[in-house]
Amino acid sequence: MKLHLWLRPALFILVLLGAWQVAVFLHPGQLLPGPWKTGLGIADLTQHGLIVKYTVASLFRVTWGFFLAVVVAIPLGLIIGWYRRAEMALNPILQIIRPISPLAWIPIAILWFGVGDLAAVFLIFVGCFPPLLIGVINAVQSVPAVYVNAGRNFGLGPAGLMTKILYPAIVPRLMTGLRITLGVAWLVVVAAEMIAVNSGLGFLIVDARNAGNRYDLVVAGMVIIGVVGLLLDNAVRCLERAKALRWGFEEK
């Protein structure tokens, strides 16, 4: 059964690769390389050890930026979601900051932190924090009142309600928010590495473009970014279905 689930996507990918190769063969003057040249580019990067080096650099920045956003957004979201006055005071600011693209912060990030890891981590944090915070606030406000009343009947105070009632109740929705936010973090780090740092998968694409128009390496970098993003998403999906969290999902 599991083999059957993997067979259809694999065949579809092969069909797409075949169509891609045929299109390049019919239009050889186009700059976009075919799957074969892209594969050779990936092999070249592997031979020089650049795939591991740049992937690790990107994951390092994503880990810290995403971690900082989680550490700040979850407790703050619990507090704002619980205290209506805090939401009324801070919601206008959140709604102003939320639509600002993380890329708009690049000049400020470079001004504050220079060109390096700190600038990229800051940009990832800025990209992840608003959507995750708003997701936590909405999740807290959607917790059924019967849960809160039951906690109060057992004598729980505000701190106890947050840690023993609200947080466990929002975990399923929180995992979905973390999955989406991690995807945002991966998008932001690639864009930030094209401007604010001199390593990582985003830098690989720009460097390959500038080094004699190596579009085979450009597309190879894009493929690697997609594969790593898929692996990160699958990792979070597996975490969603851990035994401690399985109660939040319907059995299929």
Tens digit of pLDDT per residue, the chain (252 long)?
455 667 777 787 888 877 777 777 777 666 678 788 888 888 888 888 888 888 999 999 999 999 999 999 999 988 888 888 887 888 888 888 888 888 889 888 888 988 888 888 999 999 999 999 998 888 888 888 887 788 778 777 777 787 788 888 888 888 888 888 998 999 888 888 887 778 888 888 888 877 767 788 888 888 899 899 889 888 888 877 766 555 544 443
Where does residue 39 rank: exposed (0-12), middle (13-18), buried (19+ CB within 10 A)? middle
Nearest to 211 by CA among 50, 68, 77: 50
Instruction: Give pLDDT, residue 5.
Output: 63
Amino acid at 240: E
Structure-token match 């993997």, residue found = 6
Q: Is the separation of the CB atoms in 20 and 35 below 8 Å?
A: yes
Instruction: Give pLDDT, residue 7.
Output: 73
Would you kindly state where each structural domain of the chain is located, as residue ranges?
A: 49-246
Q: What is the DSSP letter of 194?
A: T
CATH class of the structural domain 49-246: mainly alpha
CA 58/CA 182 separation, integer angstroms: 13
Alpha helices (H) along the chain: 2-26, 35-47, 50-82, 84-97, 106-113, 117-141, 145-153, 158-161, 167-193, 201-210, 215-240
